[in-house]
Structure 1
Amino acid sequence: MKTLFILAFLGLILYNLGAGLYYMLVDQGTSKRTVNALTRRIALSVALIALVVIGMATGVVDPHGVGA
């Protein structure tokens, strides 16, 4: 379940990144849709990092690999 949650977040992040690129190419500076899409991407990225850190602190997510 936690893996699907993280993958859903990553999917939303990629969608907003693609939307920002699309709006940048189509709008040609006439609207703020590019800025809004990229702002949402940054907010989702920060939220995902915070949720992973909280998950590690509470024991829901087990870190492995580097430093193990």
Structure 2
Amino acid sequence: MKTLLILAFLGTILYNLGAGLYYMLVDDASSKRTVQALTRRVALSVILILGVVFAAYTGLIEFHGVHQG
């Protein structure tokens, strides 16, 4: 479930990045859609990072390193 939530966030972030690129190429200079899409992308990225940090702090997820055999 945690992995699906993180992947959903990443998918939404990539979608907004693509939308920002599309709007930048298609819209005229007076359109605000590019700025709005990129602002949503940054906000989602910050929320995702804070969510992962909070989940690690509370023990919901655990970080692991490379297997040392």
TM-score by length of 1: 0.93
User: Of the two, which has the highest radius of gyration?
Assistant: 2
**What 5-or-longer segments of structure 1 have no aligned partner?**
none
Within 2, Cα distance between the matches of 1:48 and 1:29?
A: 31
- Residue 34 (structure 2) pairs with residue 30 (structure 1): no
Structure 1 residue runs of 4 or more that deviate by more than 2 Å after TM superposition: none
Count of aligned pairs between the two proteins: 66
Structural RMSD (CA): 1.0
**What 5-or-longer segments of structure 2 have no aligned partner?**
none
TM-score by length of 2: 0.92
Name the counterpart of 1:9: 9
